[in-house]
Amino acid sequence: MALSIPIDATVPPVIDQARRLLFGDSELVRHAADAAGGLAVNLALAGVILAATLWAANWLSQLTARAIARAHRRNPVDTTLQSFAASLVRYFVFVVGMVGVLQQLGVKATSVIAVLGAASLAIGLALQGALANVAAGVMLLILRPYRVGDRVEINGRQGTVKGLDLFATRLSDPDNLNIFVPNAKAFGEIIVNQTSPAGRRAEIDLTIDYEDDVDRALKVLLECAAADPRVLAKPEPWAKLTALKDNGVTVTLRAWFSPSDYWDARYDLLKAVKQRLEAEGFSFPYPHQVAVQSRAFQPPASIAEPAAKPAAKRESRPRARAAAKPAAKPALSRRSASPRPTRAGSSQGR
């Protein structure tokens, strides 16, 4: 017999339902079982959709890479386009699958789209740098300034491109260090591609003495370039007198190499040119330095003595003035003490 517990209106509905479920209300237990069963089914289906989404994202990304490889069957495979397109397909399938998972859990598609729209605006404002990297990655894929495997220089850092995805470009420098350059930074800076040209020029400057034969030196440079099999025939090697310096004249050799042979061939050619010129009797002038030692100036004794005499004179002047000072005058001289004759007395004498 089914147990039915009456509803108590004096308590909140949640507490009343919990009380009825605790005491075994058959109708409430049946509704709870139906709800739990429906939730379990939805969770199971959502898990299946999520697993299928992950599998489909991986499978479709690999299918996209294979399709691009088949499209470039006659030409070398563009690994940059493969990785970029595969990443784009993977993210797109994952977003669509997550929308299906949320809809299976009871969230309506219109609500999901509205939430995604608002979230996209908020994420776009918060992640302007990340979205800028995505836009820059698309521009790099369209303009193709470099590909995977190219040796490039980006913002002063050199390395070989190992990968390009939606957000960053991965480089491997000569020290085998991984460098991650954001796509926005790579697209906004100067990019130097050292692999794309068919040939790369090497310039070697050497300074010889003024007394050496310049024409013979230029001939030796061209012979050294012709002896190296890595030097390209076109453009032809070039050798000229390029500068007149204080200690000698400068001769320059320009030769072209393939990008893969550039560094080793350039250093080997420089060594060969130096050894050949030395064997031919040429000399390489180098600047000299002269050390000058300075000491404090000391005047001769004949000049130093007269300088001391004025001081002695100045010291003796007060004493000389004191000795030459006249004695004080007496109060009354003898001549002034005797009375002067008057004019009358003088006339009497006459």
pLDDT higher than 80, residue 63: yes
CATH of domain 149-193: 2.30.30.60
What number is the average pLDDT over the span 69-93? 74
Query: For residue 346, what pLDDT is reported?
Result: 41
What number is the average pLDDT over the span 286-295? 76
pLDDT in tens, 182-193: 888 888 888 898
Residue recorded with tokens 């591609």: 193
Q: What is the DSSP string of 274-329?
A: HHHHHHTT-------------------HHHHHHHHHHHHHHHHHHHHHHHSPPPPP
Domain ranges for the chain: 13-126, 149-193, 200-279
pLDDT higher than 60, residue 330: no
- The pLDDT confidence band at residue 223, using thresholds 50, 70 and 90, is very high
Question: Which pair of tokens denotes residue 171?
Answer: 């480089």
pLDDT in tens, 114-171: 777 777 777 766 666 777 888 888 888 778 888 888 889 988 888 999 888 778 888 9
Query: Which range is least confidently modeled, 105-114, 201-210, 226-235, 304-313?
Result: 304-313
CATH architecture observed for domain 13-126: Orthogonal Bundle (1.10)
Query: For residue 303, what pLDDT is reported?
Result: 54
- The pLDDT confidence band at residue 255, using thresholds 50, 70 and 90, is very high
What number is the average pLDDT over the span 92-105? 81
**Sequence-distant (≥ 6) Cβ neighbours of residue 207 within 8 angstroms:** 245, 247, 248, 249, 250, 251, 284, 285
Domains 13-126 and 200-279 share a fold: no
Query: For residue 1, what pLDDT is reported?
Result: 44
pLDDT higher than 90, residue 237: yes
pLDDT higher than 80, residue 257: yes
Query: For residue 230, what pLDDT is reported?
Result: 92
Residue of 206, 35, 64, 72 whose CA lies nearest to 147: 72
313 phi and psi angles, rounded to 5 deg:
-65, -40
Query: For residue 317, what pLDDT is reported?
Result: 52
CATH architecture observed for domain 200-279: 2-Layer Sandwich (3.30)
Query: For residue 214, what pLDDT is reported?
Result: 92
204: part of which helix (H) or strand (E)? Answer: strand 200-208
- Model pTM? 0.51
Question: 324 vs 276, which has greater pLDDT?
Answer: 276
- The pLDDT confidence band at residue 252, using thresholds 50, 70 and 90, is very high
Q: Which residues, listed in sequence order, are joined to residue 200 by a DSSP beta bridge?
A: 257
Cα separation, 44 vs 125, whole angstroms: 36
What number is the average pLDDT over the span 41-59? 84
Beta strands at 157-164 and 151-154: parallel, antiparallel or unpaired: antiparallel
**Virtual CA dihedral for 292, 298, 299, 305, nearest 10 degrees?**
-170
For residue 82, is it left (φ>0), alpha (ψ between -120 and 50) or beta? alpha
Question: 334 vs 132, which has greater pLDDT?
Answer: 132
Cα separation, 152 vs 146, whole angstroms: 7
What number is the average pLDDT over the span 39-60? 84
Cα separation, 147 vs 169, whole angstroms: 10
Report residue 108 CA to chain centroid gap.
49
Question: 205 vs 42, which has greater pLDDT?
Answer: 205
Question: 277 vs 69, which has greater pLDDT?
Answer: 277
Q: What DSSP character marks residue 149?
A: T
